Amino acid sequence: MTETIKCILASEPQPGIVAEGWLRTTRASKNVVFLELNDGSCLESLQAVVEASTPGFAEIAALGVGSAVRVQGDLIPSPAQGQRVELKAASVEIVGQAGADYPLQKKRHSFEFLRTIAHLRPRAKTFGAVFRVRHALQMAIHRFFDNRGFIQVHSPIITASDCEGAGQMFRVTTFDLDGQLPKDDAGKVDFKRDFFETATSLTVSGQLEGEIFALAFKNVYTFGPTFRAENSNTSRHAAEFWMIEPEMAFCDLRGDMALAQDFIQCIVMEVLERCGEDIDFFDQWIEKGLRKKLEALVKSSFEAMTYTEAVAALAKSGKSFEYQVSWGADLQSEHERYLTEELVGRPLFVIDYPKEIKAFYMRQNDDDKTVAAMDLLVPQVGEIIGGSQREDRLDRLEAAMDRFGLDKQTYWWYLDLRRHGGVPHAGFGLGFERALMYLTGMQNIRDVIPFARVPGSAEF
């Protein structure tokens, strides 16, 4: 196994180096060919210099962008500006040629075009940077929780429960949809004759299963794919995305907020340290001031205010918002951004939302109007984390389920947790791709996930 180009570029000049990768550019003259070689390990490429005396020189000179090669030679100091070393080739093995119709050329391509070639776009410079940051962020998340004694739980992807109560879920079935669906006595589809003998869907959240394990292991987290059947074509929505959801027993809303702040600051700091070159690339080409924004987040003290205080501040702002501000209505992105960017000028927790606009499992406050929920808002994005203290009182939880029209029999096990050693507990959720958008400055969720699943498209 050869060294990566990242390692080679960091090495001192030495003989007998082998480099493998794909050609980003080629420049040929009568006596020499310059190959710009990249293997995805870093932003920069390694220049290989191939002289006319090299075996197969004519064929090498005819290589197109995208071709895969293995180059053997000596790593020498580079006389060219902007690069410390280069590879003086002794031999070049052509591993795989790219055709003349290879769509990725040296010119800049639109992100819309690159989405149509998602099988090739990881080789583009921007997407190489995106997916290196994606990997680093994932590793930072696992390290954060592992260092604090959390246990990871693999929650099920197929579920019979709807965590959010929204009903916008993808149905899972083995029924032949082209045939006659079996019906029960009421004329409805008889799911008792399906594989799981009940109606099942793709999960919208691993939270409820996380609560089960939190009430045995105290501190747990889930990190997996979630699915929403929302016909939304915005730049921030996808039908399939990844969620990180920690759950902590013996924890209230304040403890939940403290962990959320520690979490977001730690993972951003680690990405800054591990992916500095990529962050600087995004700062230059995607979002000016990105590094400064991220460094400010890491150093910030976070503010907190209640939903009621937030609504009052919005009403007194004198701003003309597209969506009207009123108590009982959910805050929109424009409201969140005003609060965090203009009113407080730093990250902000908004807490204690009206119970009518939050999920059934959130703990009801003593005012009988609000629940112990929290949203973390950050400048330029708005909400990035949402969480709550969970309702641990059986009677209050059952009343909330009745209010939301949920079948308590379906959630018998969830209610059972309150009957047998239930304790105050809390947790939150972070959308992995939205966090990645914040870290890279990328404006569309389709561009931070390898193969986007959105309305009308499940290609690749």
Pair 315, 440 in one domain: yes
Same domain, 141 and 232: yes
**Helix or strand (DSSP H, E) at 55:** none
Number of domains forming the structure of the chain: 2
420 located within any domain: yes
Euclidean distance between the first and final Cα of the chain, in Å? 29
Read off the pLDDT of residues 350-372 as tens digits, 9 standing for 90 and up: 999 999 999 999 999 999 999 99
Q: What CATH number corresponds to the domain at position 39?
A: 2.40.50.140
Q: Which of 79, 96, 113 is the last residue of a domain?
A: 96
Q: 191 vs 22, 163, 168, 182, 230, CA distance in Å? A: 51, 20, 18, 8, 23
Q: How far is CA 14 from CA 18, 71, 76, 82, in A?
A: 11, 14, 7, 19
Nearest by Cα to 358 from 338, 317, 329: 329
Residue 113 lies in a domain: no
Q: Are residues 44 and 128 in the same domain?
A: no
- Do 91 and 225 have their domain in common? no
- pLDDT band, very low/low/confident/very high, at 164 (cuts 50, 70, 90): low
**CA distances (Å), origin 323, targets 57, 88, 333, 343:** 65, 62, 10, 18
- Specify whether 92 is located in the same domain as 127: no
Residues 285 and 374 in one domain: yes
Same domain, 90 and 130: no
Structural domain range at position 46:
5-96
Q: What is the pLDDT of residue 1?
A: 80
What's the predicted TM-score (pTM) here? 0.95
Residue 435 identity (one-letter amino acid): A
Question: What are the pLDDT digits (tens) for 81-127?
Answer: 889 999 999 999 999 999 999 999 888 899 999 999 999 999 999 99
Identify whether residues 54 and 148 lie together within a single domain: no
CATH number at residue 229: 3.30.930.10
Please report whether residue 178 resides in a domain.
no
Say whether both 233 and 382 belong to one domain: yes
Residues 91 and 127 in one domain: no
Nearest to 206 by CA among 188, 221, 191: 221
* C-alpha to C-alpha distance for 352 and 193, rounded to whole angstroms: 44
